[in-house]
Amino acid sequence: MLFRSEMIKIRHNFVLWLIVLAGLTVPLLVTLDFIDHAKDISQFHSNPWNNLWGETIRGFVIFIGPFVIVMLTCMFMNIEHKYNAWKYMLTLPQKKSSVYLNKLLMNLLLLLSLYLLFLLFFFLSGLFLAWRYPAMGFMAYRPEYTSIFYLAFRSLLSFLGILAIHFWLSIRIKNMFINIGIGLLCIFVSVMLFKKMDKLVGYPYEDGLLTVFHTYPQQGFLAESEIRSLLYFLLIVTAGYWDFLKRFKG
């Protein structure tokens, strides 16, 4: 029941449109770039799906992923602050822990929806190029589904630390724009220090870039950046859970 109410809240909110626009933006821009360089790409003799995916996922983790995750989390969590509804929610006959966990689950669902739409638009862009520009060779090759979904999954994990940070901040900071400003500043720092990303160990806003642009020696199923992000997520969510139950009054 509580989760259903969370779903209803986003129906008339810009959050859903933001997910669609964010999922579409990079595949669309990369498609336009491929069209602009159609003659050059037609001369390549490698799998064009690999080139398309490489450009798309790199653009996503640099320009879209961190920024949109901050925006989605802040906008969704701001609904209660906007209408001064926290105190009302905490007086309902339901466990306080259920409120926290449902909010967290909804944020994870929004992140997953972003990735599903992003992947959908990526494959649609490849199919469009295959139909409109057959000389590029998309019809002669198949996408490497395993590597595509594997890297997408890893990049999703690498953003969990950012989600946890702004999930907790969104509960504690009533002004959404302060929360967004913190996120934008941290993202700006990560982009400015792009060339030194492997030196920024422990900086969660860099983990998405490390997943896509950096290869660790003797890397296992997950890279260090994804493991760190998971640990940040678990640590912050656990600390936030205790803070919400013991100290948060709405």
> Residues of 226-241 as b/e, b for ≥16 C-beta within 10 angstroms?
bebbbebbeebbeebb
Q: Contact 189/205 with Cβ under 8 angstroms?
A: yes
Burial of 71 (0-12, 13-18, 19+ CB in 10 A): buried
| Alpha-helix runs per DSSP H in the chain | 2-9, 14-36, 38-42, 48-59, 65-82, 86-91, 96-132, 145-158, 160-172, 176-192, 207-213, 224-246
Closest residue by Cα to residue 230 from 175, 142, 159, 146: 159
From CA 208, how far away is CA 60, in angstroms rounded? 10
Is pTM beyond 0.85? Reply is yes
From CA 53, how far away is CA 55, in angstroms rounded? 6
Q: Contact 68/117 with Cβ under 8 angstroms?
A: no
Separation of CA 11 from chain center:
20
Q: Contact 138/121 with Cβ under 8 angstroms?
A: no
From CA 207, how far away is CA 204, in angstroms rounded? 5
Q: Contact 176/225 with Cβ under 8 angstroms?
A: no
Q: What is the number of domains present in the chain?
A: 1
| pLDDT of 1 | 56
- Structural domain boundaries, residue 25: 2-246
Q: Which of left, alpha, beta for 157 (phi over 0: left; psi -120 to 50: alpha)?
A: alpha
pLDDT in tens, the chain (250 residues): 566 777 777 777 788 899 999 999 999 999 999 999 888 877 777 889 999 999 999 999 998 999 999 999 999 988 888 888 787 777 777 888 888 998 999 999 999 999 999 999 999 999 999 999 888 888 888 999 999 999 999 999 999 999 999 999 999 998 999 999 999 999 999 888 877 777 777 889 988 888 888 776 657 788 888 999 999 999 999 999 999 888 887 6
